[in-house]
Structure 1
Amino acid sequence: MNTVIKKVLLYLMPLFLVFIAFELFYQLVPNDYSVKNATIPKKYDSTEILIFGNSHNFYGLNPKYFDKPTYNLAHISQSLYFDKIVFDNYIDKFKNIKCIILNVEYTSLSEIVDTEENKWRKYYYQTYMNLEVPSINKYDFTKYFLSSTRNFNVNTKLVLRYLKEGTIVDCDQNGFGINYTKAKKIALLKKDALTRVKSIEDNLINFDDNIVRIQSIIDTCQKRGIKVILVNMPVSSYFSEGVNQLKQKRIQETCSKLVRNNYNVSYLNLVKDKRFTNDDFFDADHLDTDGATKCSKVVNTFINERLK
């Protein structure tokens, strides 16, 4: 029996060592979340504009091109659920905020709490940004071992990327995503749009929960005299034509209603804005860094007009 146990332990030992190595990697190597957590406190006194939202804002709005000091708190797949958690945690720590930006686009209003992306990202918000995430059960084993949030292949690719590039951080010191460059862009936008539209369609039209989250953010901003800008970010023509047009219309109507009902809210719809062409995009629905420069200047002008 002892021999069998020894053989089993000997067999499991390499797996255990790999697990430990992955876990040390997650704990020690900086990523976008840990970098933002370290950078944000340095911005408390100077920042006047905060950008929230998902990857469309993370890659699409560069604080460098805003006239007022701006920080990008958006992140990949950051739903309105997490926007509100991030907002509630940080808004009172920023002393001079005049305006916040929320992106409300095709997936935002219907997005549920535990999407496939956020089933693992939620542990990053908790661990790296020290946020309380209600959707994480206190008995959840995963929150103690971040390497268990992803499978072996994903973990391996992440480590190999770090060994090759020396970093896995994709944002700058202003929180803006810097790796969607024109040199790396996806060539077949039309094909990518077909795939992307299919993958994001949730067939949900109940916006109630997320409207409540947006309204809560708006109410807090009203009390502090903060303007709220709702932005539908630009997407390629292939993407905008491929989504459910009735749902897109309802999203726009919802944003317009929020403007009518709240004096501190403005709405900027850039979905089919003619100032943007398909050449401005990294993929079907994300601007490349050059397109982000253009978009940031457009949004900056819009905000300046509202802050007069």
Structure 2
Amino acid sequence: MKKFIISLSCFATLLVLMIAIIEVALLYRPNIYAYKHQYMEAHLNDIKVLLLGSSHIEEAVKPEMIGEGTFNLAISARLKEYDAALAEMYVPRMDSLKVLVMPVDYTNFFFNREIQEHQNGQGPVSLVGTCRCMHTKYMGTRIDPIWYWSEILNSKLNFMSRFWNNTQVLQECDSLGYVRLDIKDRNSGWETKARPALLSPDLEIDKEAYQEMWQVYDDIAQVTQKKGVRFLLVTTPVYETYKDRITETMYRDMMEFIEKLQKKYPHIEFYNFIYAEGFVADDFNDSSHLTDTGAEKFSQMLSEVIYPHK
């Protein structure tokens, strides 16, 4: 028995050591989180327009179409708490910053009123752990008391491929942070993917979830107001199958949330592109994400509200 315990202890020690070596080694391999962090640190005083948010901005706004000094810091599946943390980290240090763009997503206003509709009891893969560990490890943001989130244990990204693929980060985003979605890579049944969940408008709002969402936008509004930076809230275009799921109650909640923010912070500007005209089926990768052609159209629209006299 003693021999078994010793062998087990040696194996456990070896396993922990191996995990630690991999964790450290991954720090020196390219990934989109590290790239965007390094770009921000190197160009803090060059950036005039900063784009925050998740995939609805990362894959929808082409910085070169907005104007010189634009960078897309959005990252897919990002929790909005990290947007606030990044804004508080960077905005006070950015002397050339004029505009900060932040998305307002309809799905963020469910506040636990959604009806689960996943087949065979299988819900979507949660990327919360991935978001936490990658932002903490590579972007220097920390919003929870846990001192370290292991990439191996928490990240659902294919991190091991980085050991032999030096160009992976360049395949994920361009030099200004934009991620291109090509229509030729669009999956069948795209029309029903990424639609909002079915909702129960009669259910009471989760007040804690509402307050957490409010705190995120309030924090960003405060830091932009103090810096004298325009704070633009935008909704992005969605396909018809997505629009069919929009309920009057949740849409009203979203609009009232924005109006409440604007009342407290008059410098906030809101531009609603959910029902924007001119978008066709080929402009969408799924019901709520744009292909590269759709991103060109949306980027042009966004450019016109950021620089109305350009």
Return the TM-score normalized by structure 1.
Answer: 0.81
Distance 1:277 1:245 in 2: 24
The 8 Å contact of residues 73 and 177 in structure 2, kept in 1 or not, is answered as yes
Match of 1:134?
143
Describe the SS at the equivalent of 1:268. Answer: strand
Q: How far apart are 1:264 and its partner, in Å?
A: 1.4
The 8 Å contact of residues 31 and 162 in structure 2, kept in 1 or not, is answered as no
User: What is the one-letter code of the residue matched to 1:33?
Assistant: Y
Match of 2:300?
297
Match of 2:220?
217
Match of 1:122?
132
Q: Alpha carbons of 1:2 and 1:280: their partners in 2 closer, same or farther (altered >3 Å)?
A: same
Match of 2:36?
36
User: What is the one-letter code of the residue matched to 1:118?
Assistant: V
Q: Alpha carbons of 1:50 and 1:276: their partners in 2 closer, same or farther (altered >3 Å)?
A: same
User: Percent identity of the aligned residues?
Assistant: 19
The one of 175, 185, 208 aligned to 1:173: 175
Match of 1:198?
197
Describe the SS at the equivalent of 2:71. Answer: strand
Higher helix share: 1
Match of 1:149?
154
Match of 2:91?
91
- 1:233-274 superposed Cα distances (whole Å, 9 cap, x missing partner): 111111121244421232123223433443312111111211
- 1:17-58 superposed Cα distances (whole Å, 9 cap, x missing partner): 874675355333211111111111222122111111111001
Q: Alpha carbons of 1:125 and 1:8: their partners in 2 closer, same or farther (altered >3 Å)?
A: same
Q: Alpha carbons of 1:12 and 1:171: their partners in 2 closer, same or farther (altered >3 Å)?
A: same
The 8 Å contact of residues 79 and 111 in structure 1, kept in 2 or not, is answered as no
Distance 2:280 2:69 in 1: 28
The 8 Å contact of residues 111 and 206 in structure 2, kept in 1 or not, is answered as no
The 8 Å contact of residues 205 and 247 in structure 1, kept in 2 or not, is answered as no
Distance 2:25 2:212 in 1: 36
Match of 1:239?
242
The 8 Å contact of residues 44 and 93 in structure 1, kept in 2 or not, is answered as yes
Distance 1:260 1:123 in 2: 35
Distance 1:181 1:201 in 2: 35
Distance 1:38 1:98 in 2: 21
Distance 1:91 1:289 in 2: 29
Segment drifting more, 11-20 vs 184-193: 11-20
Describe the SS at the equivalent of 2:107. Answer: coil
Distance 2:275 2:206 in 1: 21
Match of 1:61?
61
Match of 1:282?
285
Q: Alpha carbons of 1:110 and 1:211: their partners in 2 closer, same or farther (altered >3 Å)?
A: farther
- 1:115-158 superposed Cα distances (whole Å, 9 cap, x missing partner): 94223321221211122x132324xxx53x321114xxx56x44
Q: Alpha carbons of 1:8 and 1:212: their partners in 2 closer, same or farther (altered >3 Å)?
A: closer
Distance 1:242 1:165 in 2: 41
The 8 Å contact of residues 59 and 287 in structure 1, kept in 2 or not, is answered as yes
Instruction: Give structure 2 stretches of 5+ with no counterpart.
Output: 113-124
User: What is the one-letter code of the residue matched to 2:178?
Assistant: F
The 8 Å contact of residues 58 and 76 in structure 1, kept in 2 or not, is answered as yes
Distance 2:282 2:304 in 1: 22
Q: How far apart are 1:275 and its partner, in Å?
A: 2.0
Distance 2:110 2:215 in 1: 12
User: What is the one-letter code of the residue matched to 2:197?
Assistant: K
Q: Alpha carbons of 1:286 and 1:111: their partners in 2 closer, same or farther (altered >3 Å)?
A: farther
Distance 2:93 2:241 in 1: 41
- 1:64-107 superposed Cα distances (whole Å, 9 cap, x missing partner): 10124211111112232111100000001211111110101123
The 8 Å contact of residues 87 and 223 in structure 2, kept in 1 or not, is answered as no
Distance 2:199 2:187 in 1: 18
Describe the SS at the equivalent of 1:197. Answer: coil
Describe the SS at the equivalent of 1:85. Answer: helix
Distance 1:201 1:25 in 2: 47
CA RMSD of aligned residues (A): 3.2
Q: Alpha carbons of 1:257 and 1:5: their partners in 2 closer, same or farther (altered >3 Å)?
A: closer
The 8 Å contact of residues 57 and 74 in structure 2, kept in 1 or not, is answered as yes
User: What is the one-letter code of the residue matched to 1:176?
Assistant: Y
